[in-house]
Amino acid sequence: MTLHNDPLAALGVSRETIQRLEALVALMGKWNPAINLVSKSTLADAWSRHILDSAQIYRLAPPGPLHWADLGSGGGFPGLVVAVLGAELQPGSRFTLVDSDQRKATFLRQSCQTLGLKAQVLAERIDAIAPLNADVLSARALAPLTLLCGFAQRHLSARGTALFMKGASHASELAEARGQWAFEVDIHPSVTEAGAVILQLKGLPHG
């Protein structure tokens, strides 16, 4: 259940974009039994647990055309959702979805084709691909923050923004990461899950 405002209403997206997101839910339901994209228990509430949860980070991205890279895209969250939103709201933007699982990468590619998205899918390890120089780097339930900061150092542009979705343990992860990395952080409460946050990081070491 949404705790605050509907992110999609706040973004003012069109009915066409809503329909694309509904089609994504249908694709997820079709593929999930075979490759376990998300926990089966979340499928009944997929709109809130996955679509709205992912959509809320879009408002934190800088304005204008940009390169958005999503790490560990897996079932498409938040990567496919922000790519759908970007197709309407920032059509000059490009999106890169990274997941080393070949089956999940196939799902991501098929979804991009079905939804009409011009997103690149890389089925490789995050630490093995060439630096992406992304303006925005996102990840959802992927790895501890210390490891995510290392990914950001490699793949985020010098003035880029990292948007990492974290659960109730974010405070301890922040404390540990600050012992190893220098960065600025804004903490945004999740609108879909009590205790969860989006960590908006800037000023991370580059290169």
Is 83 inside a domain boundary?
A: yes
pTM of the model: 0.94
Q: How many domains does the chain have?
A: 1
| Residue 59 assigned to a binding site | no
Q: How confident is the model at residue 18 (pLDDT cuts 50, 70, 90)?
A: very high
59 within a domain of the structure (yes/no): yes
Residue whose token pair is 């992304």: 134
pLDDT exceeds 60 at position 14: yes
- Per-residue pLDDT tens digits for 119-147: 999 999 999 999 999 999 999 989 999 99
Q: CATH number, domain at 192?
A: 3.40.50.150
2 falls within a domain: no
pLDDT tens, residue by residue, 163-201: 999 999 999 999 999 999 999 999 999 999 999 999 999
Instruction: Please give the pLDDT value at position 34.
Output: 87
The mean of the pLDDT values for the chain is 92
Q: Where are the alpha helices (DSSP H) in the chain?
A: 7-11, 15-35, 46, 53-55, 79-89, 102-115, 145-155, 170-178
Confirm or deny that 77 is annotated as ligand binding: yes
89 domain-assigned: yes
The neighbour count for residue 47, using CB atoms within 10 Å, is: 15
Give domain status of residue 1, yes or no: no
Range of the domain at 23: 7-202
| Annotated binding residue 140 | yes
pLDDT reading at 3 higher than 70: no
pLDDT confidence of residue 1: 34
Residue 179 is assigned to a structural domain of this protein: yes
Nearest to 55 by CA among 28, 89, 92: 89
